[in-house]
């Protein structure tokens, strides 16, 4: 009797595993076979592009694709594939569909032609599965889809505002190479404002496309001194600044910070960021200190950048203590604020203290506070781990980093975290 019970339990266990495998909405097929099955079954394709380091991809698996009603819905209408965009045929398919960010869910016709896509993760889909189902159905119904807009443009080849709308939809989906032919059409229009927009969109797409990464057309455009409105000049310089920030090219970062600031000298966002860049990279400290003083003494501004920049300024005067005292005073004044209002003060205080190895115990408290508040912010958790280790809590730091691997969003962070874990394991 005991043996029969064990055998029955084993059979049920295997059956449970088989059911669990069959219950998954994604098929373990090649792309070519998926297309064949979609055509034979008269079904659409759903392609979930992910990477191992993408936390939002994991969130889709855990909180969206695991919902019974969503699994049933997908299995009923689609041949569904979940594809690692950095392995096997995923690398070529990623290029085919111009997948530049993750997660990226492609809804396609049976022959693989894209209808539209869902870019990024939306928590509404996990809170209410019907939100996800309704979104997919609206795509299948042709309601405001990219494909319907493309068809409208083909049916109205002289409608330039419609083409501009299509360009903007491509921008939202990171499909930069598709922008270029339509941007070229705008560039042929006699109306100078439309022509200038076309030139901007074309150059922007060239810079943002990760396969091309060519800043020269935008540089040429901005150097021509055309009648581009100021907003487009600023946007162009901002795009070049982002490009060189990605490249870690400090010489050009410095140059384009100056250009962006010159385009709008009233915009403190870039001026304070420029000062922080100069301080952190030990470049033109006199200029950085000048900006810090000006920002600190600007009326009607009360934010963490004021004490932070002054703390950096004093650190270059060999007086870190004076800067930290000033920052401490600011933190005391904001102690009654909500965490939403003071979260960045917590982060930058902890970050500055960590870099200069001062106030480490207090910095740890602040890092814990902001990490608790911002949850899955990987940058905050890396900072918290570093401070835990410096405060002789190495295992706690390792645990934080391992947890962060579940929702990390950048490949560079994924590599950084794994490297830190290795380093800290050796410290134990």
Q: pLDDT band for position 228 (50/70/90)? A: low
Tell which residue, 148, 146, 152, has the closest CA to residue 179: 146
pLDDT digits (tens, 9 = 90+) for 209-218: 766 678 888 8
Q: Is the pLDDT of residue 6 over 50?
A: no
Region of residue 175 (left: phi > 0; alpha: psi -120 to 50; beta: else): beta
Instruction: Give pLDDT tens digits for 155-167.
Output: 999 999 999 999 9
Mean pLDDT of the region 267-273: 93
pLDDT in tens, 23-71: 568 988 899 999 999 999 999 999 999 988 888 888 899 899 999 999 9
H helices of 42-102, in order, are 55-59, 68-77, 90-96
pLDDT digits (tens, 9 = 90+) for 309-325: 999 999 999 999 999 99
Residues 6+ apart with CB under 8 A from 225: none
**With bands split at pLDDT 50, 70 and 90, how would you rate the model's confidence at 226?**
low
* 288, HSE (Cβ side, Cα atoms, 13 Å): 25
Q: Residues 51-89, buried b or exposed e (16+ Cβ, 10 A)?
A: bebbbbbbbbeebbbebeebbebbbebbbbbbbbbbeee
pLDDT, position 21: 40
Global pTM reads: 0.67
The percentage of residues in the chain with a pLDDT greater than 70, rounded to a whole number, is 92
Could you give the CA distance from residue 406 to residue 403 in angstroms, rounded to a whole number? 6
**In the structure encoding, which two tokens stand for residue 320, read together?**
């870190």
CA distance 315 to 312: 5
pLDDT band at residue 225 using 50, 70 and 90 as cut-offs: low
């Amino acid at each position: 009797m005991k043996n029969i019970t064990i055998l029955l339990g084993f059979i049920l266990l295997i059956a449970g595993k088989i059911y669990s495998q069959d219950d998954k909405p994604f098929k373990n097929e090649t792309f070519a076979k998926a297309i064949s099955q979609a055509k034979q079954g008269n079904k659409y394709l759903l392609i979930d592009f992910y990477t191992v380091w993408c936390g939002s991809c994991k969130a889709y698996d855990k909180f969206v694709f695991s919902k019974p009603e969503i699994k049933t819905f997908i299995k009923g209408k689609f041949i569904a594939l979940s594809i690692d965009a950095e392995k096997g045929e995923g690398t070529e398919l990623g290029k085919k569909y111009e997948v530049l960010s993750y997660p990226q869910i492609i809804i396609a016709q049976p022959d693989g032609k894209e209808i539209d896509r869902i870019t990024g993760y939306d928590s509404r889909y996990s809170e209410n599965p019907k939100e996800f189902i309704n979104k997919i159905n609206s795509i299948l119904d042709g309601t405001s889809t990219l494909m319907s807009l493309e068809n409208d443009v083909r049916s109205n080849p002289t409608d330039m505002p419609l083409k501009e709308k299509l360009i903007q939809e491509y921008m939202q989906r990171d499909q930069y190479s598709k922008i270029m032919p339509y941007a070229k059409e705008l560039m042929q229009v006699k109306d100078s404002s439309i022509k200038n927009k076309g030139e901007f969109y074309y150059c922007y797409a060239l810079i943002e496309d990760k396969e091309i990464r060519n800043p020269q057309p935008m540089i040429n455009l901005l150097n021509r001194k055309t009648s581009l409105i100021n907003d487009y000049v600023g946007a162009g310089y901002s795009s070049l600044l982002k490009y060189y920030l990605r490249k870690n090219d400090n010489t050009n970062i410095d140059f384009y910070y100056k250009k962006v600031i010159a385009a709008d000298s009233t915009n403190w966002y870039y001026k304070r960021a420029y000062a922080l860049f100069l301080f952190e990279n030990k470049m033109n400290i006199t200029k950085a200190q000048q900006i810090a003083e000006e920002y600190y003494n600007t009326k009607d501004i009360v934010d963490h950048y004021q004490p932070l920049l002054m703390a950096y300024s004093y650190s270059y005067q060999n007086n870190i203590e004076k800067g930290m005292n000033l920052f401490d005073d600011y933190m005391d004044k904001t102690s009654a604020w909500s965490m939403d209002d003071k979260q960045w003060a917590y982060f930058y205080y902890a970050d500055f203290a960590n870099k200069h190895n001062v106030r480490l115990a207090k910095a740890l408290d602040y890092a814990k506070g902001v990490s608790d508040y911002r949850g899955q912010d990987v940058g905050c958790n890396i900072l918290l781990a570093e401070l835990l280790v410096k405060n002789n809590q190495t295992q706690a730091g390792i645990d934080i980093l391992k947890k962060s691997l579940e929702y990390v969003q950048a490949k560079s962070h994924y590599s950084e975290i794994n490297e830190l874990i290795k380093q800290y394991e050796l410290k134990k």
